C-alpha cells in the first residue's frame, strides 16, 4: 500500500505545537517533511523525558520528520531557506505576522520562486487583525475564546483546560485547508497563502458556543455526571432524569421520595439512591453489563497513563512504538487515519537538531559534493553536538 501524500515535500519552519502537529500529520500521511530548526532549538526540546537525546514533547510532535538547522539571522541562512522553500510543495510557519516577510520568506517572495507553493501561516489572532502582534499560546486563546471561564463550576475560579486545544485545532484546520489548496492547484496551477488563526479555529470548533451567544443554556443537554463504583469512577452521558428513569423502571431501583417532597428534595434523594446503586457494582464487567442493559453510554474515568490497558487502544494500535535510538522502543501516538487501501503511520522517531543537514542538501537541492561541503562549512548550517 502507498501513502496518500507520498512525494509531497513540506518545509516546516514552525515551533512548539500548532505548526509542528500539522507537519507531523502530513508526515504520517507520507509527505517528506523537513523541519527547519533554529540554532536556539525548538522550545519543546526542554519538555518531557529525554531518551536517546530527544525530549518527549518534541518527539511526539516531530516524529517522522528530517531536521536541518539553519541560522536565519544571517543572509546565507535565509538564502538557503529560500532554496529549500522553492523545492517545497508546502511551507508551514507560526511566527508572529510580519516576521516571515522581514526574513525574506514571506508569501510574495516565496511565490515568486514557485507559483504553486502553499504557505500555511498559523498565528494567534490572524495575519491582519488589530491584535496580530500579540503573543499567543494555546492558554491565551482559551482565555480569549471563553473556554477558561467555562471551566469554572460549583463556585470554583476559572481555570485553563489541560490540553492545548487551540493549538491542535488550528493545526488540524490548517491541515484541511492545505489539502483543499492542493486539490485546487490541480485545476488552477496556483498556490495559496492560508491565514489560519488559532482564535478562528477554536471558535468554529466550539460546539457549546451557541448556548453562550444566544443565552440558551437551559435548552442544551446537562453536563454528564461522574459516579463512583466499586470498580472505579465512571462517567455516564445523558441527563440525570433519563438515567434515573432507566434505573427506576429497568433496574428496579426504588424511588425514595415521599409524596409532597419538593423538586430539590426529589432530585437529591434520587441522586443518593442512584449513587448507592452504582457503588454496589464491583467489577468492570458488571458495570458494562448494567450499562448495556439500561442503554446508557458510559466511560471509565481513566488516567492517561493506563491507556494501554484499554482493549480498543491495543486492538487498533492507537499507541505504537518506534526506535528510541538507544537500543529500545519508545511509545508514541499512532496516526489516526485508517484507509481501506492506503497507508498512514508514524514512520520513525523525531530527529536531532541538524541531523539531516547534508542529506537534505543532496535530496532536495541535488547539490554536488563541492557545494554540499561549502554549505556544511558555512555559518548558515548548524549541527547539534550529541
Q: Which residues are catalytic?
A: 167
Q: Report the C-alpha gap between 251 and 213 in whole angstroms.
A: 40
Distance of CA 89 to the CA centre of its chain: 22
Q: Is 333 helix (H, G, I), strand (E, B) or coil?
A: strand
Run of H or E residues at 197:
strand 192-197
Please name which of 26, 67, 15 lies closest in space to residue 358, comparing C-alpha atoms: 67
Angstrom distance (rounded) from CA 244 to CA 256: 12
Strands 32-37 and 9-12: parallel
DSSP three-state, residue 181: helix
Parallel, antiparallel, or unpaired: how do β-strands 32-37 and 118-123 relate?
Answer: unpaired
134-166 core/surface letters (b: 16 or more CB in 10 A; e: else): eebebbbbbebbbbbebeeeeeeeeeeeeebbb
Look up residue 335 and give its three cell numbers. Answer: 496516526
Would you say 232 and 288 are in contact if contact means Cβ atoms under 8 Å apart? no
Tell me which residue has cell 434515573.
Answer: 244
Question: Which grid cell is 100?
Answer: 516571515
Locus of grid cell 532536495: 364
Q: Diameter of the chain by CA atoms?
A: 93
Q: Distance between CA atoms of 24 and 19, rounded to whole angstroms?
A: 9
Q: Measured between alpha carbons, how far is 305 from 69 in angstroms, rounded to an integer? A: 33
Question: What contacts 295, CB < 8 A, 6 or more positions away?
Answer: 246
Distance in angstroms (rounded) separating the CA atoms of residues 97 and 129: 10
Sign of CA dihedral 226, 227, 228, 230: negative
Amino acid at each position: 500500500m502507498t501513502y496518500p501524500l507520498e512525494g509531497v515535500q513540506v518545509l516546516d519552519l514552525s515551533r512548539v505545537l500548532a505548526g509542528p502537529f500539522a507537519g507531523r500529520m502530513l508526515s504520517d500521511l507520507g509527505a517528506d517533511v523537513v523541519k527547519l530548526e533554529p540554532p536556539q532549538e525548538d522550545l519543546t526540546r526542554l519538555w518531557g523525558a529525554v531518551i536517546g537525546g530527544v525530549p518527549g514533547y518534541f518527539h511526539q510532535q516531530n516524529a517522522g520528520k528530517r531536521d536541518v538547522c539553519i541560522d536565519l539571522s544571517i543572509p546565507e541562512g535565509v538564502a538557503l531557506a529560500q532554496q529549500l522553500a522553492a523545492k517545497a510543495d508546502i511551507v508551514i510557519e507560526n511566527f508572529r505576522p510580519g516576521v516571515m516577510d522581514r526574513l525574506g520568506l514571506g508569501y510574495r517572495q516565496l511565490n515568486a520562486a514557485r507559483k504553486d507553493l502553499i504557505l500555511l501561516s498559523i498565528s494567534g489572532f490572524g495575519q491582519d487583525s488589530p491584535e496580530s502582534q500579540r503573543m499567543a499560546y494555546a492558554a491565551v486563546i482559551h482565555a480569549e475564546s471563553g473556554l477558561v471561564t467555562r471551566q469554572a463550576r460549583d463556585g470554583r475560579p476559572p481555570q485553563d483546560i489541560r490540553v492545548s486545544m487551540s493549538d491542535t485545532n488550528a493545526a488540524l484546520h490548517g491541515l484541511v485547508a492545505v489539502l483543499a489548496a492542493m486539490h485546487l492547484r490541480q485545476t488552477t496551477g496556483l498556490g495559496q497563502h492560508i491565514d489560519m488563526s488559532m482564535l478562528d479555529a477554536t471558535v468554529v470548533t466550539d460546539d457549546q458556543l451557541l448556548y453562550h451567544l444566544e443565552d440558551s443554556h437551559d435548552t442544551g443537554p446537562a453536563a454528564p455526571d461522574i459516579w463512583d463504583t466499586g470498580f472505579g469512577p465512571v462517567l455516564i452521558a445523558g441527563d440525570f432524569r433519563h438515567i434515573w428513569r432507566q434505573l427506576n423502571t429497568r433496574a428496579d431501583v426504588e424511588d425514595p421520595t415521599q409524596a409532597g417532597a419538593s423538586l430539590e428534595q426529589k432530585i437529591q434523594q434520587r441522586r443518593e439512591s442512584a449513587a448507592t446503586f452504582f457503588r454496589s457494582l464491583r467489577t468492570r464487567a458488571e458495570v458494562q453489563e448494567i450499562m448495556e442493559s439500561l442503554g446508557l453510554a458510559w466511560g471509565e474515568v481513566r488516567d492517561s497513563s493506563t491507556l494501554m490497558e484499554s482493549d480498543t487502544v491495543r486492538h487498533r494500535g492507537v499507541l505504537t512504538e518506534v526506535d528510541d535510538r538507544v537500543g529500545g522502543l519508545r511509545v508514541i501516538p499512532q496516526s489516526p487515519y485508517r484507509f481501506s487501501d492506503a497507508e498512514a503511520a508514524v514512520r520513525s522517531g523525531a530527529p536531532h537538531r541538524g541531523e539531516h543537514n547534508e542529506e537534505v542538501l543532496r535530496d532536495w537541492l541535488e547539490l554536488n559534493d563541492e557545494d554540499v561541503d561549502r554549505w556544511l562549512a558555512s555559518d548558515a548550517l548548524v549541527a547539534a553536538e550529541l
